[in-house]
Structure 1
Amino acid sequence: MKKYILDLTVTENLRLHANYVLLKLTSPSPLPEMLPGQFAEIRVDGSPTTFLRRPISINYVDRQRNEVWFLIQLVGDGTKRLGEAKAGDIINVVLPLGNCFTMPEKPSDKLLLVGGGVGTAPMLYLGEQLAKKGCKPT
């Protein structure tokens, strides 16, 4: 799958908890194909201590709004700076990266989605894609 380096605009940065934010980024053009389980490398600008991009799981892709969502746990300087991003800020990302979840070949109602902490991040998008295939995940 082809990788893209994109400058995306912050549409919302919602504080979910003291240590978690939901960062929503949008593109003026259609987003590339992204699959449940993949991630992005997000550049953190303005940090004297953060040199490398932060790997963050893709939480959800809203094709109608050209939005990609990231559930971010604020644990260090890099992620804390991402948690401070404001609507209208531009954030550079490389995506999609990594492997995706294996999808069932035929519909099933015996699927259990399990995740903990930031491990729950890709479950929203996975559940939606499974439902589109006729599955009924729990």
Structure 2
Amino acid sequence: MKNLMKVASQEEIADHIYEMVLEGELPERMDTPGQFVHVRVDDSTEHVLRRPISIADIDKASSQFTIVYRVEGEGTRKIAKLKTGDTLDILSPLGNGYPLEQNDEVLIVGGGIGVPPLYELSKRLNQMGVTTTHVLGFNSKKDVFYEERFKSLGRTYIATSDGSYGTEGFVTDIIRKLNDPFDCFYACGPKVMLKVLSETMEEGGYISLEERFGCGFGVCYACVCEKTDGNYVKLCTEGPVFKKGEILL
């Protein structure tokens, strides 16, 4: 559903990574972690397509929600220039998010800009009494964000590709050293990371795919992906979250 949201705050929290808190009526309709918003850059015709950004945090009591995004092109650079009090045209909540299952212990794995939606997920699971362990992967120390927030919810490990912070390597290097039994895992990040997790994790789990969306509600067919059973799905409406092994990676 379309709505104009007011920018409550915005700051750069890592290298080219921005956190924006938005205020308005939309948080009342946000119930599932892992859904996304579709952001209109501005009123001009220069940037026709909206930008899909995952929801990082929902605060219904304050009528606010948080998005975290990476500045990659002219469109996101314009969004990054918005100040407190400015408004943003939002379509949300969109997509199917993570199912909140009652388990004892779960593993949460994020890679880069795939980390943000996992924060709201971990919050909700903690509220249910589920113990969460977090493994987050980044390219370098300058890219790391939300470490302390995840630490407040459970054990948190950081991997960096260049070894400048945490464990050198990838999230899978840390996971191999964890001997804890997990009931399931939740993941969001680059497709190559999701592929390795799906092939190596014995536990069942859920993955959230990163994809460029055109319309955001299943009309344009820009985000169609093949399932392992040979059928096809639209990530924006039937995803972005799927069961492990459901999507051909």
Q: Which fold has the larger relative contact order, with Cα–Cα distance below 8 Å and residues 6 or more apart in sequence?
A: 1
Size of the aligned set, in residue pairs, is: 133
- The correspondence for 1:54, drawn from 23, 28, 51, is 51
Q: 2:20 corresponds to which letter in structure 1?
A: L
What SS does the corresponding residue of 2:132 show, helix, strand or coil?
coil
Q: 2:98 corresponds to which letter in structure 1?
A: F
- The correspondence for 1:135, drawn from 126, 130, 139, is 130
Which runs of structure 1 show a deviation greater than 3 angstroms over 4 or more consecutive aligned residues?
46-49
1:21 aligns with 2:21: no
Q: Deviations over 1:63-85 (max 9, x none)?
A: 11111100010001111111111
Task: State the Cα distance separating 1:132 from its structure 2 match.
Answer: 1.2
1:36 aligns with 2:36: no
1:116 aligns with 2:111: yes
Q: 1:64 corresponds to which letter in structure 2?
A: A
Q: Which runs of 5+ in 1 are unaligned?
A: none
- The correspondence for 1:82, drawn from 79, 82, 104, is 79
Q: Which runs of 5+ in 2 are unaligned?
A: 134-249
Q: 2:94 corresponds to which letter in structure 1?
A: L
- The correspondence for 1:95, drawn from 74, 92, 96, is 92
Relative distance call for 1:19 and 1:5 in structure 2 (3 A) is same
Could you say which structure has the larger radius of gyration? 2
Which residue is equivalent to 1:67?
A: 64
User: Matches of 1:83 and 1:47 in 2, distance apart?
Assistant: 17
User: Matches of 1:111 and 1:30 in 2, distance apart?
Assistant: 26
Relative distance call for 1:122 and 1:28 in structure 2 (3 A) is closer
Does the 8 A contact of 2:6 with 2:24 survive in 1? Answer: yes
Does the 8 A contact of 1:36 with 1:125 survive in 2? Answer: yes
User: Matches of 1:54 and 1:101 in 2, distance apart?
Assistant: 21
Task: State the Cα distance separating 1:47 from its structure 2 match.
Answer: 5.6
Task: State the Cα distance separating 1:126 from its structure 2 match.
Answer: 0.3
Relative distance call for 1:93 and 1:124 in structure 2 (3 A) is same
Q: Which segment drifts farther, 89-98 or 14-23?
A: 14-23
Which structure has the highest helix share of the two?
A: 2
Coordinate RMSD, CA, aligned: 1.6
User: Matches of 1:56 and 1:93 in 2, distance apart?
Assistant: 10
User: Matches of 2:44 and 2:76 in 1, distance apart?
Assistant: 10
Q: 1:92 corresponds to which letter in structure 2?
A: D
Relative distance call for 1:29 and 1:123 in structure 2 (3 A) is closer
Relative distance call for 1:34 and 1:85 in structure 2 (3 A) is farther
